[in-house]
Structure formats: structure tokens, C-alpha cells
Amino acid sequence: MGCLCCKPSAIEDSKESPRERFSSKASSDLRGSRVTSSRREEVHRAKDRYDSNDGRAMLIDKHANGSLRLHSEHFERKREKMEYVVAQHPGMGSIPKATEGEQVAAGWPSWLAAVAGEAIKGWTPRRADSFQKLDKIGQGTYSNVYMARDLEHNKTVALKKVRFDNLEPESVRFMAREIHILRRLDHPNVIKLEGLVTSRMSCSLYLVFEYMEHDLAGLASHPGLKFTEAQVKCYMQQLLRGLDHCHSRGILHRDIKGSNLLIDNNGVLKIADFGLASFFDPHQSQPLTSRVVTLWYRPPELLLGATYYGTAVDLWSTGCILAELYAGKPIMPGRTEVEQLHKIFKLCGSPSEDYWRKSKLPHATIFKPQQPYRRCVADTFKDFPAPALALMETLLSIDPADRGSAASALKSEFFTTKPFPCDPSILPKYPPSKEFDAKIRDEEARRQGAAGSKGQRIDLERRGTRESRAIPAPDANAELVLSMQKRQGQSNSKSRSEKFNPHPEEVCSSDL
């Protein structure tokens, strides 16, 4: 379950849009306890900082003990018997103070119940001593993932340990968003959150997930392994079914890539790592951050600074995965945002004049090429099966409006012509393989090569293990990342390894 949620630090951080999460119908939904006039000025100073975490207008009342309480901006009651804290996410109502007390009594730590009460509502925390850690299978800047034994249910699970520095409310809220999203989803092709492990004495939280033996990036990195067309269709069908469920529940994943597509020994694929996921409302357009999606899988509109977008961003990433499964390597491995956009234009063509004019994207004047690029997807991948190429052409449309939907992709000729998608149960059985494992193997091989092992070097070259690093998705909660980096003094890091040809053949057009 290597890359379930090992989120690296961002390469480039930017401030989140003040309305990054879509809000409910009106801020009058928010309830709060009375704010005294003597503290009104302090409350207003804190408002802008926390507005960026949610589309709703909020005020923050800082108590003498350092705790934070959120208030409605324009709705106060003269006499309120119960105090409320405002939940962060759409569809999450206010939590009575009495309920918070009940959650603490049930075993939840007060720092979690006070900030993320709605996310844990109805659940009871699991005891740490009911699990036995077996092996570390993933690592990120703020979390580690372990394979563990659930002693109560006698099964193997994955534990994602999230560290909270100083228990800052914004970092807890950020994790609460992921928990709430995971609890909203229920589909065979979406990872299942099975529980939470914490204690009143600990500053960490464990998320309990079903254990998955592989991820798609790890399988694809195996030398000599090539999927058949029926196997590719099987994986793509499961991915699109999972995405269709997410989108129908009002959730954008915003980081679809091979290492976030987990596969078990029965061949079942599940979408994982919802750390950058967001709620969205297709009927009520709200600005979102453009600083999401790992670079190689990031659509052009996000690179151009779009803040109004929808399900099409996940479909672009899905198109990249489809092409990667047939090509055997990432198709657009850019090292910078400029290079990534260049590769996209060279392969998929540059946007039309009408698109530039209508989109009004923030970076359009900077990145608009002087000469238009011709689309050459069909020429570049002429050896791909025609139905696969047709679906890829749709998913990799420059205009997001032309990418269709996950539901329409599932009805495409790609899935209705022979060979049909195979059943997951008849997929080959592989030894456990994750991108995290591949990285460890490659690093060990490089160390041996650096020590003077010529044979190892030759073997590495023969296996084609020269690699670059994909720039990870900038964290959607820029405020959280910046504050943590200041405290920890951590520099920006590169993402986990991805297989790629450092000298791709460039066709159809000249450089920008």
C-alpha cells in the first residue's frame, strides 16, 4: 500500500483561493457562540487566514487557553444554550459542544474532537495495542504507512500514521477533510477507510485501510513486464468506475497517477490517497486551487492557472495512465511546469484562438506559443489499437469540455470491442510490488554501483533504470505546508521515483 498517502512536501506552494472549497447555500448555516465586542478586532484579524481552508465565511475567537472557536460572520444569538464549532466541509453540519464532550468520553483526544468532530462522528477509536506493526511500506513528509496485523479481526491492514506538530488546528482540519471524503465514498474500486487509531496521550493519528499488495506504478516498473490488451482494459475499467463513483459523489481526486492506484492479489484496483481531493458542486461553480496533480499527469488548464475546473482534471490524468500502460513509460515526463506545458502542446497541440479568448486563464499571455502546435497524438502512438487511441484522444483533449466523463468513457468502443476486459480474478499473480519498493531497490543498486561494482552498473543500464523524479502535486493546503516548513526547516523535496526515458523523441513541432 506503498503510496496510499505519502504526500511529499510541495515543490511550489501558493496561497489557496479564499473560496477553494465549495460552500453551502449561505453562510447563515453557520452557528456560533457570542463574540464579545472587546475581542471583535482580534476575531476579524484572524478571519482571512482561516477562510482559505473553506468556502464558508468564518470568524475565529481565541480563548485564553489557546483554543480556537469558529463563529458565524453575521449570525449571533443573544442567548445560546449550546456552543457550536463550525465544521470545515460541505455537508458537514455544526457540532454541539455537548457532542464534543461525548466524543472525548468515548476515547477521542480533545484536540481531535474539537476540530474534527464531524469527521469522526459515530465512530469509536481503535486501541493502538490491537495492532501489530509488521513493516514500513511507504513514507512521506508528514506521514508513514505500515503493513500491520489487526489482532482483533485477524487480518493484514495498512496503517497510515499522520503526525501533527503542536496540534495546530489547520493541520488537524486538513486531515479531517480527507477522513470526511473517505467516509463519503463506498465503492469496490475506491480504497476503504476501516477505522482510526488514536489515544488521548498521543499527538498522532492512524488511519486504518484495507491492505493492498501492489500499486500500478510498481507493477509497471518490473523489467520485462508488459500488460496484454485485455489486462489494460481491466485496469482502466476499474479506474474509470472508481472515478465515476467519486465524481457522482461530488469529489475530485486531483492526484490520479500509477502509485495512487492500488491493486490486491485478486486483481482488484482501488483509487487511493485522497489527500488532495476536494468537494465540488457541478451546479455551483466555485474557485479551487490550481496547485494540484503530480506534474506528469497535470492537465494544461491547471498549468495555465485555472481556478474554475471540474472532473476533466481527473480525466486528463486518466488519459495519461492509459497511454502509459500501452507505451510502457510516462508519455510526458516534464521536469518543470514550463517544460510540461511544452510537452503537452507538442503532443496534443496548442489551444485554439477561441479557447485562449474564452478561457481568460491567468498565465495565458506568458505561455501562449507564438506559432500554433499541430496535434499529433495519432501519429506518435500509431501502433496503439484504434479503440485505445480513440479514447486517449478524447481524454487528452486540450479543451476540458471535450474530455467527456468517466461514465461516457466506460461506454466507449474501447470497452465494447474484442478483446474485452478480462475479469480481475484471472489477472496474473505478482509478488508484492509498489513504487516504494522499486525506489528502495534502485537506490540500493545505485549505492552498489557507486562503490565500484561495474557489473551492477552494466546491469542497471541493461534494465533501463535511468530515472527522473516526477514533481509532486503542490499541497492544496498551502497555508499548512508553509507553516510546517517554517517550523521544521524542511526544503522542498522531489517525489518518489517514476520510470521515464530522459531523452524522449520529440516530434511534430519546434521548441517554444
Asked if 75 contacts 57 with a C-beta cutoff of 8 angstroms, the reply is no
The owner of cell 482559505 is 52
Give the integer Cα–Cα distance in Å for 134 and 146.
Answer: 7
The span from the CA of 277 to the CA of 177, in Å, is: 9
List, by residue number, the catalytic residues: 255
Backbone angles phi, psi at 162, to 5 degrees: -110, 130
| Strand segments (E) across 141-211 | 143-150, 155-163, 193-197, 204-210
C-alpha cell at 72: 458565524
Q: Is 161 annotated as a binding residue?
A: no
- Where does 328-434 have alpha helices with state H? 337-348, 353-359, 364-367, 377-380, 386-395, 406-410, 413-416
The residues, ordered by sequence, that sit 6+ positions from 224 with a Cβ below 8 Å of its Cβ are none
Residues 6+ apart with CB under 8 A from 131: 148, 149, 150, 151, 157, 159, 197, 206, 208
Tell me how far apart the alpha carbons of residues 252 and 297 are, in angstroms, rounded to a whole number: 14
Contact of 481 with 489, CB cutoff 8 Å: no
Binding residues for ATP: 160
